[in-house]
Chain A
């Protein structure tokens, strides 16, 4: 009864071989982002940074090979995002989800991530509460509170005690206004006026005039990058706020992909942010050089570094836990590594990235290109939005 036929042996060997093959399996990562439409640059920046990471680190880790699949949401589209995530999980059998530029899109994936125990690395969507919506959410981007509070603190340290806030009247704008006001007033500053500008605004002259009339030491602005920021920074100059010595304080307005277009009027603007393409470190130089070499004409921005670190985090989780979702989440908690933006780690309390926040001033580099020059560093800032 117990003697083994040749055939049984062959089957056993084949089974062992198959199991071995399964060990060295392919881990698939689904990246959901806009690759077409007005926000296509996000998907493009994500994909390029991920490909740079793969060029540097190979496509195999811990005996697994990693494959990225890209899906296009077009823009803010929670329903489609959910459908794409479902398709990736069920039909493509992905083990990790990633990408996610907009808050509504990220929220649409929460339930699926939890049910399927799929670690989901959010590369951008920046509302603090997102990571509370699923235990499988991680984030390698930033939150508005994380960068705005250091901006307010820095302004106070420079002796700026009065400010006017001028934000676009939508979710993130109001978030930024609240973050700035609470930190600025807690530090003894006074917010003279809080202006909320309609999202359709094309002419910012009236608002700038109103700011100027109140003569604050600084104006804190928050607007979506692109045309509104372009018109806003021009209005700041043309209405004589710069001459009147009113310091411009902002966050992501001087994004590297639009900075050159902002041109001369952007010079000297102060912003607080987690990444500048001009960050002085060997790793960042290598990253930006490789990006420019592989994709001529591309510049690194927050999306690039969010995706690059997202890939780094996914590689780490795959190395430790393969396709085991809960184990991968364990591996991510407290994981610390060196990023092109500086030292970063995953805060086990929020599953959000803890990182340095830099105070930058727009300046020209040796070749005359506009850059965000880092002038001050606030180290290891966690997400500050959830404790509020």
Chain B
């Protein structure tokens, strides 16, 4: 019974971390349909900025805000200069172009900050653990769970309930028609891409206690991001949410019950799910 509860608690906490590090990708790849293998690169930029700020005495939360903002500002010229062209490419070209961008970000961080860990010291309030009675749960995981719920709510409202969301969905579904109707699709795409980059940075920083920031971050965790978005279904934030929690719990359960099988359970589940539902759990199944 305790094991079951532990699996649930750890699974949800881990799933939420998976969600936080992939939600940016479910915006750029899921909504905007660009195969963005450089997603982890933006998480790395955010993490590296936060590392630089917080280790130089900036308050953790302020540093996080500035780092997210900084990442969005760095993303803007990249979107205008690079991604605006990448959107129009075929899938394979997108893969090649964005992984090239990932390598450039890695090399830049490696050159400036080195290839060692770039820790972001957590504030007093996030250290220690919450006592749940039968076990403890670290405060920073509680923070990630809260942040994950807030981000989900924010994105739901933004995409489903605002004028910006309507324009975004229109621009994504049929760019030419949306442009004909007077929607500035270029601007919509730039803003959405910045949002995706900002979320990547936020996830990178919040998840850093578990997936520490270092120059090779984008490649090390690329498969994790992609699996969450693919299983969740392209274009569905809720799908990514469900997928992250599901996969997180499953992976945690396999660690408790059958660690000798390694990550096989995780990937077999992914394969089976994608065979049964190639469009993902909540994907819209575009032809």
Contact = CB atoms under 8 A, between A and B. Distances in A.
Given A209-B135, A231-B211, A240-B136, A41 B259 contact: no
A210 B216 CA distance: 30
Contacts of B117: 226-227, 230, 258, 261-262
Interface in B202-257: 209-212, 214-216, 220-221, 224, 251-252, 255-256
A137 B263 CA distance: 37
Interface in B236-287: 251-252, 255-256, 259-260, 262-263
B112 interface: no
Contact of A207 (B7, B17, B255, B263): B255
B249 to A, nearest CB: 11
Nearest to B248: A203
A230 B212 contact: yes
Contacts of A240: 129, 136
Contacts of A262: 117, 119
B6 interface: yes
Given A198-B262, A200-B262, A206 B210 contact: no
Contacts of B110: 40
Contact of A38 (B6, B10, B129, B216): B216
Nearest to A228: B212
Interface string B79-106: 0000000000000000000000000000
Interface in A210-254: 210, 213, 226-227, 230-231, 234, 238-240
Nearest to B215: A38
B210 A202 contact: yes
Contacts, number: 93
B270 to A, nearest CB: 13
B114 interface: yes
Contact of B118 (A169, A200, A261): A261
Given A195-B259, A203-B252, A207-B255, A226 B211 contact: no
Contacts of B263: 198, 200-201
A203 B10 contact: yes
A41 B10 contact: no
A197 interface: yes
Chain B interface size, under 10 / 10 to 19 / 20 to 34 / 35 or more = 35 or more
B138 A201 contact: no
B276 to A, nearest CB: 24
B118 A198 contact: no
Nearest to A38: B216
Given A38-B216, A210-B256, A238-B138, A257 B262 contact: no
Contacts of A257: 116
Interface string A244-283: 0000000000000110011110000000000000000000
Contacts of B129: 238-240
Contacts of B116: 41, 257-258, 261
Contacts of B6: 206, 209
A156 interface: no
A196 B259 contact: yes
A239 B210 contact: no
Nearest to B208: A230
Nearest to B267: A200
Contact of B220 (A203, A205, A227): A227
A263 B209 CA distance: 12
B14 interface: yes
A367 B40 CA distance: 36
A329 to B, nearest CB: 35
Interface hub of A196, A230, A240 (most chain B Cβ within 10 A): A230
A136 to B, nearest CB: 32
A169 B14 CA distance: 21
Contact of A206 (B209, B256, B262): B256
A195 B221 CA distance: 23
Contact of B255 (A206, A213, A234): A206
Contacts of B17: 203
B114 A227 contact: no
A234 B121 CA distance: 12
Interface in B1-43: 2, 6-7, 10, 13-14, 17
B115 interface: yes
B10 A202 contact: no
Nearest to B257: A206
A206 B138 contact: no
A239 B136 contact: yes
B144 to A, nearest CB: 12
A196 B138 contact: no
Given A203-B252, A226-B214, A209 B259 contact: no
A79 B135 CA distance: 49
Given A38-B215, A41-B114, A209 B10 contact: yes
Given A40-B115, A41-B114, A196-B259, A205 B13 contact: yes
B209 A205 contact: no
A226 B214 CA distance: 9
A203 B210 contact: yes
B121 A263 contact: yes
A210 B256 CA distance: 7
A239 B117 CA distance: 22
Nearest to A260: B119
Nearest to A265: B127
A234 B127 CA distance: 10
12 contacts: A38-B115, A40-B115, A201-B263, A202-B224, A203-B10, A206-B7, A206-B259, A239-B129, A258-B117, A261-B116, A261-B118, A261-B212
Given A200-B263, A226-B117, A261-B119, 15 more contacts: A38-B216, A195-B259, A201-B263, A202-B224, A203-B17, A203-B252, A205-B14, A206-B7, A206-B255, A230-B117, A231-B211, A234-B209, A238-B136, A261-B118, A261-B212
Q: Which 6 A-B pairs have the closest CB atoms?
A: A198-B262, A261-B117, A206-B255, A238-B138, A261-B119, A230-B212
